Amino acid sequence: MINIEEVEKLARLARIELTDEEKEQFQKEIGSILDYVSELKEAPIEGDEALAISENVNQLREDENPHETGLYSKELLEETPRSEKGFVKVKKIFE
């Protein structure tokens, strides 16, 4: 149902490093789960009504009354693994 290369591709897309043992295990397990849920492909859809259109409506608000700048910065930065001078620090993205 799904081969090792596909498992590796999924892991890469999902940004998860896997051990070889995990890859093998997931190949089997994800394969059997996909087999099970594939029954949906055969599920008959009767009529031609528009389906899967959410009845929920967007609830928007005015973008106004901002809180005082920096009010939460200290607390939030304390939770970041790395920060410097009031900024979240990450490795460089451009060479």
Partner 1 sequence: MDKEFFKNLTIKKVAKAMQDGDTTALELTQYYLENIKGKNGELNAYLRIFAGAEDQARKIDEDIKNGKIMGPLAGIPFAIKDNMLIKGEVASASSKILENYRATYDATVIKKLREAGAIFLGTVNMDEFAMGSSTENSAFGPTKNPHDPARVPGGSSGGSAVAVAADMALASLGSDTGGSIRQPASFCGEVGLKPTYGRVSRSGLIAMASSLDQIGPITRTVEDAEIIFNIIKGKDPLDATTVNEDVIPETKQENKKLKIGLLTYDKNVVAPEINDMMEKSVEMLKQAGHEIMEVTLPYLKYSLSCYYIIMPAEVSSNLARLDGVKYGLLKEGDNLLDDYLKTRGTGFGKEAKRRIMIGTYVLSSGYYDDYYSKAQEIRDLIRRDFENAFDLSAGGVDAIILPTTTEPAFKIGEKTDDPMKMYLEDIFTVSANLAGVPAISIPTGFAERDGVKLPLGLQIIAPHFREDVLFSLGKQVENAKIKV
Amino acid at 48: D
Q: Measured from the CB of residue 31, what is the shortest distance to partner 1 in angstroms?
A: 10
Q: Which of 15, 20, 66, 70 is the binder for partner 1 (CB under 8 A)?
A: 15
Q: Measured from the CB of residue 85, what is the shortest distance to partner 1 in angstroms?
A: 16
- Please answer whether residues 90 and 82 qualify as being in contact, where contact means their C-beta atoms are separated by less than 8 angstroms: yes
Q: Determine if 79 is a binding residue for partner 1 (CB under 8 A).
A: yes
Q: Determine if 13 is a binding residue for partner 1 (CB under 8 A).
A: yes
Query: Closest Cα partner for 5 from 25, 27, 21, 22?
Result: 27
| The dihedral sign for the CA sequence 83, 86, 87, 91 | negative
Q: Which of 20, 59, 68, 69 is the binder for partner 1 (CB under 8 A)?
A: 59
- Please answer whether residues 11 and 18 qualify as being in contact, where contact means their C-beta atoms are separated by less than 8 angstroms: yes
Helix or strand holding residue 88 (H, E): strand 87-88
Q: Which spans of this chain sit near partner 1 (rule: CB under 8 A)?
A: 2, 7, 10-11, 13-18, 22, 25-26, 29-30, 32-34, 36-41, 43, 45, 51-53, 56, 58-59, 61, 72, 75-76, 78-82, 88, 90-93
